[in-house]
Amino acid sequence: MEMSCLIVDLNAGDAEAKWNASPASKEALLDTKFATNPEDALAIMASVMVSPLIIHVQDYSQAVQTLLSAYQAAFGPMSDFQVIVNSDPSPQFMVSVFEFGVEQFVANETWVAEVSAICRDVKEKMSDPECAEYKTMSLVIAVRSADAGQITEAQAAAGDLATYDFRAAYANGKASEATGDYSAAIDNYKSATGMNKLFRPVSTRLGEACLITGRVDEAIEIFQKLERSNPRDIDRKASLASSYIEKGDFEMAAKYAAEAEKLDAGSSRVVEIKAQVMLCQGDFTSAFALLDQMSNVGPFFAAKLNDLGIKLSKSGKGKSALSLYQKAHKVVRVELKYKITLNAVLACRRLGDFDMALKYVARCAREYGSLFPKLAKIKETLEKERAEQALAKAGTTPPTQVG
């Protein structure tokens, strides 16, 4: 499994020059990429498999959270493959990155040698298919591909690893989410929590899964506990705001929404909260207009968008539903796109546009990675209805079958 080391120098220093000048870097054995801002780093993460992630930074900031969140979403719970280069991190800084499972801090004076050693460790583990890290990363990569067949294969290759390795259980939970099995996801996250109560990412995903499945009070309890340990996390405050909106407690929702906006007014999650309130108030037009400001939308709000599209479609506003799906498809996480496409199929069917519906069927199959049974049945029905429509337009009727 080929990996690249990504070194992000948020200090605008000379990290790249020091790395290239040091003999130790020649022993790293991994291709090395460099970035000096989150935008360039995210572009690299989208184009290559990154591990390890090295961040040079003086103190915790939204940029650090953006990088750690993106790494976790794309490459999973590999906290031992993430490093902060900072000789004297503040206690608050250490607490903040611990939310992502990151515990490794290395000194500015020795970072090249230490990172080189970590790179060699990654190279060794990612070259061994029997290694736990290899199996876990394979499962995460399968989820990232949004290919259900690949996810199933990766789960089978991992065997019973998820029963005794908290990172594998976390990855297995994400895999279950990607295939729509949130009950299994919750079971995996609870199992991972039992194995390592201090691994914050799994608690966050457990809270999100509870919220998606309607277990709002349980979700709030989880998020509140996490909030007490670190009140500087934007996603956490956004999740609390969303939870209280679902509960109907708009006063508490407004409190956490305001706190999230104060931390980063431009965050996609802040925009999601505003849109969620608009949806609850029936202001669909305003909520629709905010979609262009969102990115990497998760399963909870993606489900809200799907529900809105279904309501529009069933009420005879099929073209509006399709317009919504087109925008939603651009902003949701890659593993959620097939669900948006599937609802577009059904909207086209209600409009009687069977040719377009079948095109969406083909796209849904590509996004899911295989023609799953439900989609195969829908395709069969659409082809039959298209044939009947053609006969009706021609002024004929299908022949009566003699049984």
Domain ranges of the chain: 4-125
Quick check: helix, strand or coil at residue 105? strand
How many Å apart are CA 23 and CA 57, to the nearest integer? Answer: 23
Alpha helices in 22-165 (DSSP H): 38-47, 62-75, 91-98, 111-125, 132-145, 148-158
Can you list the positions of beta strands (E) in 136-289? none
Can you say whether the dihedral through the CA atoms of 204, 209, 212, 213 is positive or negative? negative
Q: How far is CA 270 from CA 74, 208, 223, 224, 290, in A?
A: 21, 16, 16, 18, 11
Residue 316 falls in which region: left (phi positive, over 0), alpha (psi -120 to 50) or beta: left
pLDDT band at residue 60 using 50, 70 and 90 as cut-offs: confident
Look at residue 401 in the predicted model and tell me its pLDDT: 54
| Cβ neighbours around 90 below 10 Å, total | 12
What angle (nearest 5°) sits at the alpha carbon of residue 75, between those of residues 71 and 78? 90
Is the pLDDT reported for residue 161 higher than 80? yes
- The percentage of residues in the chain with a pLDDT greater than 70, rounded to a whole number, is 98
User: Residue 403 corresponds to which tokens in the numbers above?
Assistant: 């049984």
The lowest-confidence range among 256-260, 292-296, 315-319, 368-372 is: 368-372
Is the pLDDT reported for residue 212 higher than 70? yes
Residue 86 has φ and ψ, to the nearest 5°, of -165, 120
335 DSSP 8-state letter: G
134 alpha carbon, distance to own chain's centre: 20
Q: Mean pLDDT throughout 60-83?
A: 85
Query: Which residues on neighbouring strands pair with residue 53, listed in sequence order?
Result: 6, 82
User: Residue 396 corresponds to which tokens in the numbers above?
Assistant: 């004929």
More confident residue, 372 or 193: 193
User: Residue 187 corresponds to which tokens in the numbers above?
Assistant: 């079971």
Which amino acid is located at 192 in the chain? A
Q: Does domain 4-125 have CATH number 3.40.50.280?
A: yes
Task: Answer yes or no: are the C-beta atoms of 329 and 341 closer than 8 Å.
Answer: yes
CB proximity list for 264: less than 8 A, separation 6 or greater:
62, 234, 270
User: Residue 245 corresponds to which tokens in the numbers above?
Assistant: 């909106």
Q: End-to-end distance of the chain based on CA atoms, in angstroms? A: 58
The lowest-confidence range among 36-45, 75-84, 152-161, 251-260 is: 75-84
Residue 226 has φ and ψ, to the nearest 5°, of -70, -35
How many Å apart are CA 77 and CA 129, to the nearest integer? Answer: 18
Nearest Cα to Cα of residue 151 among 298, 26, 334: 334
Q: What is the pTM of this model?
A: 0.78
Burial of 173 (0-12, 13-18, 19+ CB in 10 A): buried
Query: Which residues on neighbouring strands pair with residue 297, listed in sequence order?
Result: 332
Quick check: helix, strand or coil at residue 156? helix
Nearest Cα to Cα of residue 77 among 161, 11, 184: 161
Is the pLDDT reported for residue 205 higher than 80? yes
Nearest Cα to Cα of residue 213 among 241, 184, 191: 184
Q: What is the mean pLDDT of the chain?
A: 90
